[in-house]
Structure 1
Amino acid sequence: MDELNIEKQDGVWVLKMNRPTKHNALNTALTQQLLQTLQDADATSECRAIVLTGTGPSFCAGADTSEFRGFQDDRGGALRRADLTTSVHKSFSRLAKPVVAAVHGNALGGGAGLAIACDMVIAESSTRFGYPELKHGICPAIVMANLTRQLAPKKAFELVSTGRLLNGQDMVDWGLANQCATGRDQVLQLALDVAAQWAAYSVYAVSATKRLFHRCADLGLMEGLACGHDTNVMMRSFPRD
């Protein structure tokens, strides 16, 4: 069974993490497939937008910790896995194609990190979103960067230091999700609607908007205005597709 299912419809790629009995916990195989598929989607004109979701009862319950048991004696293995996980999280903001997460069930630790790495999030009302790593004697490490970038410091520290879990409406209230819906099918349909809207727009305008957004998020006002100036000039030559 493939660790990641891919469905293609009208310019939208729906990526479904497919380890339902493990609540889509991220083992090496799934993480590798996700990274490769995101890169493939970005490289082809067949894909204009991406939906990320999970099969079974959860979006993603985080890292598959059963793979980590030997890392105390295998520093090279630990480094390779950290490199792979970091590459996945880096890829979302680097993709020209926008990504919306359809989140349900557990979105914990690495799964929470995947969800908010996406450009938009639609959450099911009964979602359990959070960072329980400290309860297991570990640190929410790679997932910390996106969280602190998107949430006020006190709120972010509350999540990573107490293990507090948010439901779907909490995620909307905290600014970590765009919409909350009841039922997994409705969540997925709302995410598909968002992706279809992106797919209907000019691919050049969408990719330029996403790139400029992520650049401005990391810049001061003057530098951000300079980037906006350059994109403003560039977009005058966009093809009209």
Structure 2
Amino acid sequence: MSAESPDNLVHVYTEKGITTVTLNQPEKRNSLSLSMLKVLSSVFSDLETNPDCRVVVVAAAGHVFCAGHDLKELKGQFNQHEAQLAVFQECAKVMQQIVNLPKPVIARVSGVATAAGCQLVASCDLAVAAEGSRFATPGVNIGLFCSTPMVALSRNVSRKHAMEMLLTGDMVDARRAEQIGLINRVVDSEVLDETVYGMAANIAGKSAFTVKTGKEAFYRQLEMPLEQAYEYTAEVMASNMDANDAQEGISAFLEKRHPEWRDE
């Protein structure tokens, strides 16, 4: 299944349970204009209940993954607080949609991801980058601190690493991004797709119900005190045990056969 968004801002393609969402404005460095954000929000909303989609890959056309917000658009909104706020709120909405999506989201990064583009990478559940890719939250260099990108960044890397990126605005290469936990893996560009889609296919082969349960629980427990997190996840596991797929999976394991998921 293939689809183009209005004005071809985003390309959506689904095959074998994997939906690729491609930012498709390379001439604008795939910047997150308000129009782009609204399209992405609509796409993620549709994917939430799309039974053909089990895993999402976020990719980008061209040599830049995403340069962040459209600065020309923001400059045109100088002294228009409500218009500026609408852009940042729409961006926050999209990032939360990714986290709350009941399907795993993998960032396929080839090129530069800066500011809100780095935020997009950090918001995805997993991220794989090609060698040579670079990341930054450089807002401090232009007098606009990356406050909203900071939310996703600080939830993925340690405080001091996050603060270093935010305060210096310096570029971080892919190897360093992997070391500090911003991305999962760095691979040669020749095997980027093989790695990303191999990972996606692996996850797509799991029970969609179980993956949904686990992803939701992962993000919820992160914000809880230790005792509360254990109480919550114990309830999640007990409820998960009642699911058909858990019973099928355990039985299949004990009987040494492949499980037949019903996604329930």
TM-score w.r.t. the length of structure 1 is 0.96
> Which of 7, 14, 23 is matched with 2:29 structurally?
23
User: Alpha-carbon deviations, 1:22-49, whole Å to 9, x = none?
Assistant: 2211111111111111111111111111
Alpha-carbon deviation of 1:231?
0.7
In structure 2, the residue matched to 1:211 is 216
Conserved? CA contact 1:123–1:171, under 8 Å: no
How does 1:77-226 map onto structure 2 within 5 Å? Answer: 77-183=83-189, 185-226=190-231
Alignment map for 1:12-91 (pairs within 5 Å):
12-91=18-97
2:110 and 2:176 map into 1 onto residues whose CA distance is 13
> Looking at both structures, which has the greater relative contact order when contacts are Cα pairs under 8 Å and sequence separation is at least 6?
1
**1:163-222 C-alpha deviation (Å, 9 max, x unpaired):** 121111111111111110111x52233111111111110011000110111011111111
2:203, 2:48 → 1: CA distance? 14
Paired letter, 2:227: M
The whole-number CA distance in structure 1 between the counterparts of 2:238 and 2:84 is 45
Return structure 1 stretches of 4+ with deviation > 4 angstroms: none
Q: 1:3 aligns with which of 9, 13, 38?
A: 9
Cα distance between partner residues in 2 of 1:69 and 1:169? 34
Q: Match of 1:143, SS?
A: helix
Structure 2 residue aligned with 1:229:
234
**Partner SS state of residue 115, structure 1:** helix
Q: Separation in 2 of the partners of 1:39 and 1:194?
A: 23
Report the CA distance between 1:106 and its aligned residue. 0.9
Tell me the secondary structure at the aligned position of residue 73 of structure 1.
Answer: coil
Amino acid at match of 2:63: P
TM-score by length of 2: 0.88
Q: Judge conservation of contact 1:204–1:239 (CA < 8 Å) in 2.
A: no
- Give % identity: 24
Q: Is the 8 A contact 1:12 1:50 kept in 2?
A: yes
* CA contact 2:33–2:87 (8 Å) conserved in 1: no
| Counterpart AA for 2:191 | Q
Give yes or no for contact 1:61–1:108 (8 Å, CA) kept in 2.
yes
How far residue 72 of structure 1 moved from its aligned partner, in angstroms, is 2.5
Separation (CA, whole Å) in 2 of partners of 1:141 and 1:36: 24
Given that 1:53 and 1:101 are in contact with CA atoms closer than 8 Å, whether structure 2 keeps it comes out as yes
* Higher Cα Rg, which structure: 2
- Give distance in 2, aligned partners of 1:182 and 1:17: 21
- More divergent stretch after superposition (203-212 vs 74-83): 74-83
